[in-house]
Structure 1
């Protein structure tokens, strides 16, 4: 079972060495790396090519013009030859067992379409800061699950053949394109949480969803949730009508406010426990 590691690069060549080192150190060895440079304005492509050298497991492509993350990640999946795909940002890294942990689940559980794990929040030098608590098991087969609050995060891996049956990556997305993908995959089968911190997430000033981009990320995520509601033909949530058109993010997040209640959280944990016992 081949694993395609997908890398969307834009001006992150200076960080790629750590990403590369973590990939070639994988305990699972049936993998390829597909890199698509989104018309970087620095010397990223040259830096990356120099690091890779003549290793033919790495395939490098370049957009003729800057196209954005939605188009770039969509192309990466198209280029992938593996049965399983997973995105690794060029400024991040993965742990030695990251691929193997995911592959073992896909081999043993044909009903699982997506896996995800914990991650390590790191500083700009990729030194660990902490392991966030938000990645955790989620209920499967729930039409009212929207990954809000966010529990599906790095390291996410998915079956390419199942992805092909979805509406695929939204190429218009500039932020939250990953959340859009996760919800589409969630609708096609079971997702499985890996209780390991398998991804090293670097925080730095140029991160797309970090710092000044957080308000934009929240707005895009609301659109992702709204699109999922419509895709699932939902008319109301917890007794509240879903608007016919997207107006603003507040209207969407207000619909999900009930999920913050203690009663809902207890029921959710019980549902997850039952599913884990009988799956």
Structure 2
């Protein structure tokens, strides 16, 4: 079945990466897609670059927020005008492997999933430096320890997104936690959630990003984890893991760096050319 896939992408000040991102979408082996981009008040050439792609490909749609509204509102605006059976997330600085959409659609159909993520290669301007592999079958208990998905790898049935009300837009989710709140809602509704273990995107993340997470972000992340504990009725003994972000604030940076690089390390000789090619 050749279902339409709506790729939703909030774009903001990503003029240096957007072209390569869209090119990776156009090159997909799966052709029945639409790309819905919403510019969230960019002050560089992001919107102009996106407009040029709209002229080149009728499958690409572009809207613009009147002001900077944040990712949750921006993605909801994309969902509102999307027409696909599936909604697939992507970001304006990440790159899809050429078979990403085809692989995820086939997996969704074969396994009757409601949402499905994947692994990811981690890269920055210096090249690929790591790999992330979320659990094959996410569990609500793992929500206390870490996010069950890599947000821009996820594909979902559109009707489940509508059922849970899309992305929540509130004070907490505006702190880069809109995806975590969505996962809570998916678990609350007992949807079928999987992760394909192979990497299907190149996920941009600076290898020193762990060191720039501000105190307020870690506090908000802790709040979100305790919110998950409450809503998902996590056993009290397991709720202690919700304190992990606060504990990270107390660990010296050199130890955090070692742990961060260790958990993401892998050999990528075969993949390096795909990023820079």
Shift of 1:92: 0.9
Distance 1:186 1:38, change over 3 A: same
- Tell me, in whole angstroms, the C-alpha distance in 2 between the residues paired with 1:239 and 1:122: 33
The answer to whether the Cα contact below 8 Å between 1:74 and 1:171 also exists between their aligned partners in 2 is: no
Query: Alpha-carbon deviations, 1:23-78, whole Å to 9, x = none?
Result: 01111111000000001112210122124433110000000011111211222222
Indicate the SS of the match to 2:16. Answer: helix
Distance 1:168 1:105, change over 3 A: same
Match of 1:63 in 2: 65
Match of 1:247 in 2: none
Indicate the SS of the match to 2:61. Answer: strand
Q: Is structure 2 residue 159 aligned with structure 1 residue 152?
A: no
Indicate the SS of the match to 1:131. Answer: strand
The answer to whether the Cα contact below 8 Å between 1:34 and 1:59 also exists between their aligned partners in 2 is: yes
Shift of 1:238: 2.2
The answer to whether the Cα contact below 8 Å between 1:35 and 1:76 also exists between their aligned partners in 2 is: yes
Q: Is structure 2 residue 119 aligned with structure 1 residue 118?
A: yes
Shift of 1:21: 1.1
Distance 1:52 1:150, change over 3 A: same
Shift of 1:223: 2.9
- Tell me, in whole angstroms, the C-alpha distance in 1 between the residues paired with 2:114 and 2:221: 22
Distance 1:215 1:2, change over 3 A: farther
Shift of 1:176: 1.7
Indicate the SS of the match to 1:137. Answer: coil
Match of 2:90 in 1: 88
- Tell me, in whole angstroms, the C-alpha distance in 1 between the residues paired with 2:23 and 2:195: 25
The answer to whether the Cα contact below 8 Å between 1:7 and 1:88 also exists between their aligned partners in 2 is: yes
What pairs up with 1:92-241 in 2 under 5 angstroms? 92-110=94-112, 112-124=113-125, 127-132=127-132, 134-140=133-139, 142=140, 144-146=141-143, 148-153=145-150, 154-172=152-170, 173-174=173-174, 175-188=176-189, 189-204=191-206, 211-213=211-213, 215-232=215-232, 234=233, 236-238=235-237
Shift of 1:195: 1.6
Q: Which has the higher mean CA deviation after the structures are superposed, 154-163 or 17-26?
A: 154-163
What is the aligned-residue RMSD (CA, Å)?
2.9
Shift of 1:182: 2.1
Could you state the TM-score of these two structures normalised by the residue count of structure 2? 0.76
- Tell me, in whole angstroms, the C-alpha distance in 2 between the residues paired with 1:251 and 1:117: 24
Distance 1:216 1:100, change over 3 A: farther
Could you state the TM-score of these two structures normalised by the residue count of structure 1? 0.76
Distance 1:3 1:66, change over 3 A: same
Match of 2:76 in 1: 74
Indicate the SS of the match to 1:13. Answer: coil
Q: Structure 2 unaligned runs (5+)?
A: 248-277
Shift of 1:147: 5.7
Match of 2:41 in 1: 39
- Tell me, in whole angstroms, the C-alpha distance in 2 between the residues paired with 1:239 and 1:203: 29
The answer to whether the Cα contact below 8 Å between 2:145 and 2:242 also exists between their aligned partners in 1 is: no
